[in-house]
Every structure is written in C-alpha cells, then in structure tokens.
Amino acid sequence: MTKQRPHISAVIPTWQGLRYLPACLSALRAQLGPDDEIILVDNASRDQAGAWAQRYAPDVRVVALPTNLGFAGGTNAGLAVARGELLLLINDDALAEPGCIAALWHALSEHPHAGAAAGVLTFSRHPKRIASAGITVRRDGVATDRHPGLPINALPAATQPIFGASGGLALLRRAMLDDIGPFEASFFNYLEDVDLAWRAQLRNWTCVLAPHARARHVYSATSGQGSPFKQRLLGRNRIRVLIRCLPTALLRECLPAILRYDLLAAAYALARRQPAIIAGRVEALRELPALRQQRQAIQARRTASINDLATWITPAPSPLSDLRIARQIQRLSAAT
C-alpha cells in the first residue's frame, strides 16, 4: 500500500526574477496536487514580480515584502504562512524537471528519520552537468556544493545520506524546522542553508539526496558569480557558520586548516584587488560577542555525538583544485 503524501507548501523567494517565474510556476503546477500550495515571496522586486503573479497566477499565494530580506528572510516569510506538513524550497530561476517533487517525497518517505531531502540542481543549458547535489563540509571550514561540474550519470541511482540540502531545491519536514528554527535571517544570502544543515545535524536530523529529483538552474542569476556583493556575504557568512555551528572539539581540530584557508583567501584578495573577500570576514569578526551568544544557545541543544558529526567533514582539496573547479563552474554558468 502506497503511503499517502502529506500536503506540500512550495516556497519561492524572488527578487527581480519575473523573467523566470512563468516557467518555474508552470513546472511546479504540473507536479503538485490540488491540496498543495505555492507561496511566492516578493522581496520588493522592481520588476513587479508579485504584482504579475497576483494578476496572471491567481492560484499562487503572494507575500509582498516592503524591503528585500534576501533569500533567508524572504524564505522565512513564506515558511511562516505555509500550511503544508512538507515544505518545498525552490529558486525562482530553477525549472523542476518532471518527477522532481515525487522523487523528493519518495526519498523522505524511505527515510522517516530524515528531516530533509535534497534535489539535484543542474546548469540550465547543460542539464547533464551537476551544479549542486547537496552540501558537503570540509576540514578547512569550506561548505560547498557536492559534485559541481560532474556528469549527472555519475550519481548513484539510489538515495544516499548527505550532510545537507541546498536551499535551491529541497523538501523539508515541518517537524524539523519546528525543532531547529528557520533560516538565520541575518545571513541575507549565501550559506544560510549550510547554517540550517549544521543545526539540523547537531539535533540528529539527517538529510538524504534524491538523485532523480532534478531542476535546471540559472547559476548565480540574482547577484552574479564572483560579484563583490557575493564575495562579501560568502566571507562574512563563512565565519558566522563556523563560530555558530562547529562544536568546540571539531573547531579545535579543524582550526589550522581553517586559518590556512583564510590566509590564502586574504592573499588572493590582495593580489587580485578584490577587497570584498576580506571585508566580509572583518565584518563577521566585529560581530564576535553576538556570535558567541548565538553559539552558546545552538551548542547547548546539541544531541548528536562528536564522532557522528566528524564523519561528515571531508579532506580539503588543494587550492589549485579549488581554482580548477571554480573555473569550470564559470564556464558552465557563462551561457546560462
């Protein structure tokens, strides 16, 4: 007997994403049931994305925000009004392929103790190449997409446990968010999904990859790959995640590799005249008193063992390997 799927609330934050919305919504409608809902959170878009949806997509529930709260705050606004037991997160520039939602639900139903199922994002004009197959965390403190640039057929056919799900395509259990809380709104954009994944793992909420749940994604469509804005937030939010989420034993063990990475990043920033890379880190260090308080509250609720958490931390590749991957992503995303 097939288990009945709970109701889904699909939450789509958008900012200047009107050009992608018709295709995104059409792909979702084809896969959702009559009792499911689509929530579009308009982050004060200048392209009037919310007004367009109210006029041309009356089945979509629009949450119009007076200011841009970024992915984190915008998604939280949608989650706050969502009615479903399952919460689908998908970017406005992602096109869910047929069977995507069914594959996400199948993965969660197979793993009743998992709090999230991650989908696979591919490059919009290279759908046979992986942009993200969930999140991986490294000894140098870097949290990054799994398998970027690899062919889609490199993924195993069966669901598999992974550290966490990218916010660009994920199915979450409401029970998990009730336990750990939503995204940290102050992150605005970038690594808020890593912070959420760490908080989930600390509370023994696992994540599984649904390899057949796929969506074509326009990579870094909102703020631009390699933009100073993105560099600053990545640098700032990296430090925030490490201070908030890594238990002391893991932080102590990884600290030499973390410091080495940040020193190399600072040297790269100076050599390439990209001060935003350093500015973001400095901004986070100025927040240390508040971050220590947040860390204390998060770590006090940890139920997972250090040994279990340590299994997710992978070795750090060489800087040259990182650069090669970054250049490959730039090539694959250039035409999207």
Per-residue pLDDT of the chain (336 residues; tens, 9 = 90+): 457 899 999 999 999 999 999 999 999 999 999 999 999 999 999 999 999 999 999 999 999 999 999 999 999 999 999 999 999 999 999 999 999 999 999 999 999 999 999 999 999 989 999 999 999 999 999 999 999 999 999 999 999 999 999 999 999 999 999 999 999 999 999 999 999 999 999 999 999 999 999 999 997 655 555 799 999 999 999 999 999 999 999 999 999 999 999 999 999 999 999 999 999 999 999 999 999 999 999 999 999 999 999 999 999 998 888 888 888 888 888 754
Whether residue 239 is contained in a domain is answered as yes
Whether residue 114 is contained in a domain is answered as no
Per-residue model confidence (pLDDT) at position 232: 98
Backbone angles phi, psi at 145, to 5 degrees: -70, 145
Closest CA to 321 of 131, 112, 142, 168: 142
Whether residue 310 is contained in a domain is answered as yes
Whether residue 8 is contained in a domain is answered as no
Per-residue model confidence (pLDDT) at position 2: 55
In angstroms, rounded to a whole number, what is the distance separating the alpha carbons of residues 274 and 25?
37
Whether residue 41 is contained in a domain is answered as no
Whether residue 238 is contained in a domain is answered as yes
Whether residue 235 is contained in a domain is answered as yes
Whether residue 277 is contained in a domain is answered as yes
Question: How many alpha carbons lie under 13 Å from residue 202 in its C-beta half-sphere?
Answer: 24
Per-residue model confidence (pLDDT) at position 225: 58
Per-residue model confidence (pLDDT) at position 220: 60
Strand segments, DSSP code E, in 66-125 are 86-90, 94-96, 114-123
3 secondary structure, DSSP code = P
- Which residue segment(s) compose the domain that 258 sits in? 228-314
Per-residue model confidence (pLDDT) at position 1: 44
Per-residue model confidence (pLDDT) at position 286: 98
Closest CA to 280 of 235, 244, 229: 235
Per-residue model confidence (pLDDT) at position 241: 98
Q: Are 330 and 120 a contacting pair, CB within 8 Å?
A: no
Per-residue model confidence (pLDDT) at position 223: 52
Closest CA to 148 of 330, 20, 334, 313: 330
The pTM of the full predicted model, rounded to 2 decimals, is: 0.95
Count structural domains, the chain.
Answer: 1
